[in-house]
Each structure stands twice: as structure tokens, then as C-alpha cells.
Amino acid sequence: MKPLTEQEIRSAFVNCTKGEAKRLSVPRDLAERPWDDLDFLGWRDPQAPDRAYLATEIGGRPTALALRCANAASWQTRRSMCSMCITTHTGGVTLMVAPKAGKAGQQGNTVGAYICSDLACPLYVRGKKDAGMGARLHETLTMEEKIQRTVANLTAFIAQVTA
């Protein structure tokens, strides 16, 4: 994807207030991120372990989500599958919950998905990051098809948040 600037990321959030988008922590090393291998940029908040964020482009428009991470205890010890990139990890997948955009979110409505805890799905799909033995199902899909599937899963998730 095309590299995003801090300003573009902050103004792309669809499910938090402008004030929150201004204050939340955006990685400082944006220039060094492997944008060519990313379909989205995801990161955990170093100051708040229960928070994560992701930024992508949908139809050429930067779009970003604020996510809450569920308590570790429930998922930590069993193998789980990321619903974005279909990678299986032991303790490496977190239930992340996004408040819905607009009024629905203010009323407490959320959408949840199991996502790689480090939000590095694009790198797992491309084999640039290893999730350990048995992490990938045996599939006949090409890497390009897996990338497309990950993008489709993410797009569907964002569509649920903004619906």
C-alpha cells in the first residue's frame, strides 16, 4: 500500500472522536515500515496494552480503526486462528473489539474479530514473518489469492464497523 503519514492516519479514524484520534499513539517509525508488503498497518499502543489500531486504504481513501483488546486470559493458552489472515497461533491471536462508527458506537455497539496479536497479518500471509509450526493450513491458494482474501476479510470487518 501507499505509505501513510501521521496526519493522514490521524484524520482517517472512523470510530473514535477527533480528540482521541489526535492523542492516540501513532508509530514514530512510519517511514521505515515495509509498506510494499502491507495491506494495512496495525499496531498496539505501547502506553495502553488493551488498545490497538489499524490503518488501511479503502477505495483510495485512508481508513483507520481504533480497537480494544480483550483480556489475555481467555485466549492465551489455546490455538486460535486469525480471522483476517487465517494464520493459527498459540496465544498469538487476540479478540479485538471495535466500537461502531457514529451513533451506534456512542450507544455502545461494537464489532469483534480474532486478529493476530501483533497485527502483522500481511507479513504472515507473505511468509515474511513466521508464526511457528503448523501455523498455516495446507491450502491450494496462491499467495496473491491469500492476500486478496485477507484484504476482503479486513474490508468486510471495516464495513461492519461503519455500517
> Which residues are near Zn ion by CB under 5 A?
82, 84-85, 116, 121
**Closest separation in Å from C-beta 66 to Zn ion:** 18
**Closest separation in Å from C-beta 41 to Zn ion:** 13
Task: Specify the residue, 26 or 84, whose C-beta has the smaller distance to Zn ion.
Answer: 84
Task: Specify the residue, 67 or 84, whose C-beta has the smaller distance to Zn ion.
Answer: 84
Task: Specify the residue, 101 or 119, whose C-beta has the smaller distance to Zn ion.
Answer: 119
Which residue's Cβ has the minimum distance to Zn ion?
82
**Closest separation in Å from C-beta 82 to Zn ion:** 3
CA–CA distance, 128 with 125 (Å, rounded to integer): 8
Task: Specify the residue, 63 or 117, whose C-beta has the smaller distance to Zn ion.
Answer: 117
Question: Residue 109 corresponds to which cell in the numbers above?
Answer: 455497539
CA–CA distance, 100 with 103 (Å, rounded to integer): 8
**Closest separation in Å from C-beta 7 to Zn ion:** 27
Q: Per-residue DSSP letters for 94-116? A: EEEEEEPSHHHHHTT-EEEEEEE
Task: Specify the residue, 104 or 136, whose C-beta has the smaller distance to Zn ion.
Answer: 136
**Closest separation in Å from C-beta 26 to Zn ion:** 21
Q: What number of other Cβ atoms are within 10 A of residue 72's Cβ?
A: 14
CA–CA distance, 20 with 40 (Å, rounded to integer): 20
CA–CA distance, 82 with 17 (Å, rounded to integer): 28
CA–CA distance, 79 with 85 (Å, rounded to integer): 15
Cβ atoms of residues 87 and 77 within 8 Å: no
